[in-house]
Chains A and B, each alone.
Chain A
Amino acid sequence: MNKSDDKTLMERSLKGDRHAFETLLVKYERPVYNAAYRMLHNPDDARDVTQTVFLKVYEHLDQYDPARRFFSWVYRITLNESINWLKKSSRQATLEQDTADQGSGPRQQAGQAQIGEGIQAALMTIKSEYRAVIVLKHVLGCSYSEISEVLDIPVKKVKSRLYTARQLLQERLTEQGLH
């Protein structure tokens, strides 16, 4: 993640350079969509959240703090929007029901796609604050310090959340016969 490039593009976007904003969009569209999808487990919702994220970024260009890295601002908006989306649509309860209804077939019967779905289903059963650290670490490839910056929490708390999240996931995957 090149901080200076993003900063330059942000400055140009702020001056009304649409091409600069489009360059940022191209760079971050896919990770934002992936993060939203892993938070929401619904492609339509992920698409809408991605759209909202970039429109909010554009609308609040003048509120961007150049001391922060651009990606941490965008990812924070993405996670907040995803969590808001879950609250608004009350999908959380439905998703938890959906995942509870999914079978727990033995691992040897599960194809790679089923394993991926099983992991995603397990992700949807844990609290969004835990899912957020998993998404930052495993989907967006952030380091501890980057996660700390995005979520604005101490690194020590990042470590403890990641540990708890993985323990919860390990339990769920075991229940599903995937571990």
Chain B
Amino acid sequence: MAIDPKYVELINADIDGEISSADRAAFEAFIADSPEAQALHAELSAVHASLDSLPELDSPPHLKHTIMASIPEQNEGARSTPGAFLQTLFAAPALRYTAVFAAGSVLTLSLVSSDIVSQGAFDDMTGLVGTISDQIPQGPSIQTTPIESKDIAGTVTLHSSGPILIVDFDLVSSGPVDIVASYVDKKVWFNGFAQLESPGVSVSAESGRITMQIDGKRRYALYLHNAGDRDITIHLQFTSNGEAVYDTDIEYVQPGHSG
């Protein structure tokens, strides 16, 4: 026998904790005498409990920084050109490049070198800004390191492609931040620098030490020539106004050396 819609509504209200005191007595009297209503109450309660059991997820760690870096400094300016900064955001290096990497696709980057990847080392150079585009095959990501501080956030992902190690920075900073990537193995060479629609980034390199600057949202990559597929640890230090704000190590271990 179909349940009167009025009581179906009360069953739902009871499960949702929204039954009024005026309706409660009538509801309780009805359900006590109706096996169908009791069954419906049990079924809906089970669905309610299942839905309430869905876990609350953490939002991505650097999402807040990305959003704040995407909004203009002056609100008046934003309102004077409706839609402008949204268009800018989606024209800028997109967060979705992560998915491109994950799919193992080929990524086009602007690369500093007259060749795709030079066979020699770039040592002791300063003020270099990427200008040349070409396709660099990206190997599978080896590890992704989250960077999370109040000054800078995002990820640094390590890829390997033959003798080339690619350190892929996808970061957003709340102000100017210097990044120093250093390593001790002198047989590892700085081999190039690439930037993805992030003009104006400069890089300087000396043996075993590469320095870059970031201000806002940036996506770029360092290329290291790793002759002999050697194990390497790269230390990353982030400084703001001369003070260290974050540091971490990323490690490449040649296949078969893990553990």
Contacts and interface: CB of A to CB of B under 8 A. Distances in A.
Given A55-B71, A138-B52, A33 B12 contact: no
Contacts of A69: none
Interface of B: 8-9, 12-13, 16, 18, 43-44, 46-48, 50-60, 63-64, 66-68, 70-71, 73-76, 78-79, 82-83, 85-86, 89, 95-96, 98-99
Given A18-B73, A51-B70, A170-B47, A29 B54 contact: no
B56 A30 contact: yes
Contacts of A167: 44
B55 A116 contact: yes
Interface of A: 13-16, 18, 21-22, 25-26, 29-30, 33-34, 37-38, 43-44, 47-48, 50-52, 54-56, 58-59, 61-62, 112, 115-116, 119-120, 134, 137-139, 143-144, 159, 162-163, 166-167, 169-170, 173, 178-179
Given A29-B64, A119-B50, A144-B18, 16 more contacts: A13-B75, A16-B74, A25-B64, A26-B64, A33-B63, A38-B54, A50-B59, A51-B66, A54-B67, A55-B71, A58-B71, A116-B54, A119-B54, A163-B8, A166-B47, A170-B44
B43 A170 contact: yes
B75 A22 contact: no
A173 B44 CA distance: 12
Q: Which of B9, B63, B66, B98 is most buried by chain A, counting CB atoms within 10 A of its CB?
A: B63
A137 B51 CA distance: 9
Contacts of B82: 59
Contacts of A52: 86
Chain B binding surface SS class: helix
B67 A51 contact: yes
B120 to A, nearest CB: 38
Q: 4 closest pairs, A vs B, by CB? A: A33-B59, A138-B51, A16-B75, A166-B47
A54 B68 CA distance: 9
Nearest to B71: A58
A21 B63 contact: no
A120 B54 contact: yes
A16 B160 CA distance: 45
Contacts of A179: 43, 46-47, 50
B56 A119 contact: no
A115 B83 CA distance: 41
Given A33-B59, A166-B48, A139 B71 contact: no
Contacts of B44: 163, 166-167, 170
B56 A25 contact: no
Contacts of B9: 159, 163
A55 B63 contact: no
B102 to A, nearest CB: 9
A119 B53 contact: yes
Nearest to A29: B59
Q: Which of B53, B66, B73, B79 is most buried by chain A, counting CB atoms within 10 A of its CB?
A: B79
A44 B96 CA distance: 7
A164 to B, nearest CB: 10
